[in-house]
Amino acid sequence: MPAIITSLAHFVPPDIFKNSYFEDKIDTNDEWIRTRTGIIERRFQVEGALTDMLVPAVEQCLSERGISATEIDCVIVATITPDNVFPSAAATLQKKTGMVNAWGFDLSAACSGFLYGLITGAGLIESGAAKKVLVCGGDKMSSILNFEDRTTCILFGDGCGVVLLEKSEDPAFGIVDSILKMDGNGGEYLYMTAGGSAKPASFETVENKEHYVVQEGQSVFKSAVVGMADVAAEIMERNHLIADDISWLIPHQANLRIIDATARRMGLDSKKVIVNIEKYGNTTAGTIPICLSELYHDGKLHYGDYIVLASFGAGYTWGSILIKWGMK
């Protein structure tokens, strides 16, 4: 039987930073940010770490399902901004939420982290290795942004989402299909220079601001437009679905123009495309579970809906997942 999402929740920090926040700090303006990216504001977590955002999301997810933290078998945290390099954010989250019977780990696939995590968790459910898996996706991007680099700092925000996976009772519902891809040649266009074993942190690396996101925006943009659209169209084709069959596209929120290109390739009406980039910017592994949770809690996800998740991010990593929604 396939894995199915049986509960979900998200959390974004309360502090809102509008585009105008950057105007007296770097050479940018609201008009440029809006028209080039679609972003109007984003949330930054002023205090605390990634797991402090995940705790309320996990608690809401469990409470809406009516189960206790002790029932979780495994917790996967997709992120590039864990509280610490080690122990894992999964271990810290386990302690903070009382998931005493869970094992778990962090998964690093940048903006595609949630999709990779979902398929990893689904595999554990389908194989019978676990009964209840929590898949978390989120990032505190403000912890790795160079607020003097106008080409990157305006793009990102902080936030996270969580889904609970269990075994579906009906083979037609749940995670139906997935296409996941990776191309390490993309590594040179989106990365962090120091802080890993290749270049451990030192006085010099800190002074040179090498612990921040570096991006060659146009190269990433060109690959993302093609990559995300390709996998979204392919998953429809190979499941014999046409645009009318799809209820929602939930794309990674990196740039409105990349989202539009994906929707066009799928032949989807813009009304079926979930966009919240204007409120949150790019929360990396958080974008897709936040969109999904907002859609669900707004009452717009219906039993039997076909939804397509699609992402593109550092690595490069990208992919699409087809879900037949099974929550009533």
The residues assigned a catalytic role are 111, 252, 282
x/- mask, ligand COA, residues 203-242, rule CB under 6 A, reads: --------------xx-xx--x------------------
Put the strands of the sheet holding 103-107 in their side by side order. 3-11, 158-167, 133-140, 74-78, 103-107
Choice from 121, 157, 161, 313 touching ligand COA (CB under 6 A): 313
x/- mask, ligand COA, residues 77-116, rule CB under 6 A, reads: ----------------------------------x-----
Nearest to 326 by CA among 133, 114, 167, 160: 167
Nearer to ligand COA, 185 or 218 (CB): 218
| Tokens matching residue 138 | 């989120």
Q: Which of residues 115-134 bind ligand COA (CB under 6 A)?
A: none
Q: Which of residues 171-190 bind ligand COA (CB under 6 A)?
A: 190
328 touches 304 (CB < 8 A) = no
Shortest distance, CB of residue 310 to ligand COA, whole angstroms? 12
Q: Is 150 in the site for ligand COA (CB under 6 A)?
A: yes
Listed in sequence order, the DSSP H helices in 68-216 are 89-97, 113-127, 203-207
Burial string for 21-44 (b: 16+ CB within 10 Å, else e) reads ebeeeeebebeebeebbbbbbbbb
Q: Which of residues 152-171 bind ligand COA (CB under 6 A)?
A: 154
Alpha-carbon span 72 to 61, nearest angstrom: 12
Listed in sequence order, the DSSP H helices in 198-247 are 203-207, 217-238
Nearer to ligand COA, 151 or 205 (CB): 151
Number of residues that bind ligand COA (CB under 6 A): 20
Residue nearest to ligand COA (CB): 217
